[in-house]
Amino acid sequence: MRYFTSVSDLGDLSEALRLAKEIKADRFKYDTLGRHKTLMMVFFNSSLRTRLSTQKAALNLGMNVIVLDVNAGAWKLETERGVIMDGDKPEHLLEAIPVMGCYCDIIGVRSFAGLTSREYDYGEVVLNNFIKYSGRPVFSMEAATGHPLQGFADIITIEEHKTKPRPKVVMSWAPHPRALPQAVPNSFAQWSLAAGYDLVITHPHGYELDERFTKGATIEYDREKAFEGADFVYAKNWSAYAGDNYGAILSKDRSWTVDSRTMALTNDAYFMHCLPVRRNMIVTDDVIESPRSLVIPETANREISATVVLKKMLESL
Ligand code: AN0
Ligand code: CP
């Protein structure tokens, strides 16, 4: 696997889930595969889980790791082509990328959506520049439109906890004070559908996601109806995708916060969120602290999804 940006890059999903189970049982099973290979993790945005879990995954495979926080210590980077660089940015991304490629064998990139231009974000310009100019295999550590390592970890977690072959999984929009990208909900929808779950997405009008990620899911605007009989509730905020509202906050309605009253409508559902989460905006303290909360098992499975992905990339070197 040279590139990992979406579920389709992984090949057979059930085989990848089998490998995830094998690695979880013995995470050092392939600890010589990455000997003398270097992973470079490039962050244009903040991270706790991705930074730690991907680094741990690389160590499981015997790799060396370099972490670059672009906004802390590197030269400020220009990203637009054609710009006369007489401002505060001394270096261009188009040189910086092949420079990074000189010092590693595999590159992971975190580059969030700017939420000002749908065309620029959904063109995945930064991630695609790494694919084009680094000369190295590249994987997404959450780019503008997807967070595949998170989507993979989420379905590993559902597979571990489901009690029926096709669980009802509800992805529910929840309020947040700042505009967030659609990357996490796009990937959760894409991976849940690929895994064959009965996926219901509920959100206020105007929060419709890109159908390329959600085709096959049921969109239910009546939130209480959506929650009825759910086996898993996945809460997430995202900003508007559709129409002229790209990147906008259309609602901060706190009646969409996941609480014990709405969870009581479900089939004793598990609660899920990718983290970081704003308590009592997205979810109440009691729901996230309840024994049905899977937020920490999801996080733990980030190490597993990253180990599977890096193993498959190392095998293609
Ligand atoms: C990011 C997002 O919603 O995409 C990262 C989530 C993994 N969240 C925030 O910026 C709070
Ligand atoms: N879930 C997740 O990707 O978290 P970080 O932003 O902390 O990496």
pLDDT tens-digit profile of 208-249? 999 999 999 999 999 999 999 999 999 999 999 999 999 999
Q: What percent of the chain has pLDDT over 70?
A: 100
Testing ligand 1's pocket by substitution, the residue of 171, 274, 277, 278 carrying the most ligand atoms inside 8 A of its CB is 274
CB proximity list for 123: less than 8 A, separation 6 or greater: none
171 alpha-carbon distance from chain centroid: 14
Look at the pTM and tell me if it is higher than 0.95: yes
Kindly report the number of other CB atoms within 10 A of residue 310's CB atom: 27
CB proximity list for 25: less than 8 A, separation 6 or greater: none
Kindly report the number of other CB atoms within 10 A of residue 169's CB atom: 28
Ligand nearest to the CA of 49: 2
CB proximity list for 266: less than 8 A, separation 6 or greater: 170, 227, 228, 229, 230, 231, 233
Number of residues in the chain? 317
> Residue 49 C-alpha to ligand 1 middle, in angstroms?
11
DSSP string, 268-281: SPEEE--S---BTT
Q: What is the pLDDT of residue 84?
A: 98
Mean pLDDT of 248-272: 98
Rounded to whole angstroms, the Cα distance separating 247 from 200 reads 23
Mean pLDDT of 302-313: 98
> Residue 54 C-alpha to ligand 1 middle, in angstroms?
17
pLDDT at 132 over 90: yes
Nearest to 96 by CA among 68, 63, 118, 122: 68
| φ and ψ of 247, to 5 deg | 85, 0
Kindly report the number of other CB atoms within 10 A of residue 87's CB atom: 9
Please write the tens of the pLDDT for every residue from 152-203.
999 999 999 999 999 999 999 999 999 999 999 999 999 999 999 999 999 9
Mean pLDDT of 298-306: 99
Ligand nearest to the CA of 152: 2
Q: What is the CA radius of gyration of the chain?
A: 20
Say if strands 77-78 and 91-92 run parallel, antiparallel, or are unpaired.
parallel
Ligand 2 neighbour 274 (Cβ under 6 A): yes
Please write the tens of the pLDDT for every residue from 17-62.
999 999 999 999 999 999 999 999 999 999 999 999 999 999 999 9
Kindly report the number of other CB atoms within 10 A of residue 280's CB atom: 12
Ligand nearest to the CA of 55: 2
pLDDT at 73 over 90: no
Nearest to 313 by CA among 38, 29, 21: 38
Integer distance in angstroms from the first to the last C-alpha of the chain? Answer: 9
SS3 content of the chain, % helix, strand, coil (to 5): 40, 15, 45
Rounded to whole angstroms, the Cα distance separating 258 from 93 reads 41
Place of tokens 């109440």: 284
Nearest to 57 by CA among 296, 301, 306: 306
Contact 257, 174 (CB under 8 A): yes
Q: Which atom of ligand 1 is nearest to the CA of 112?
A: 4
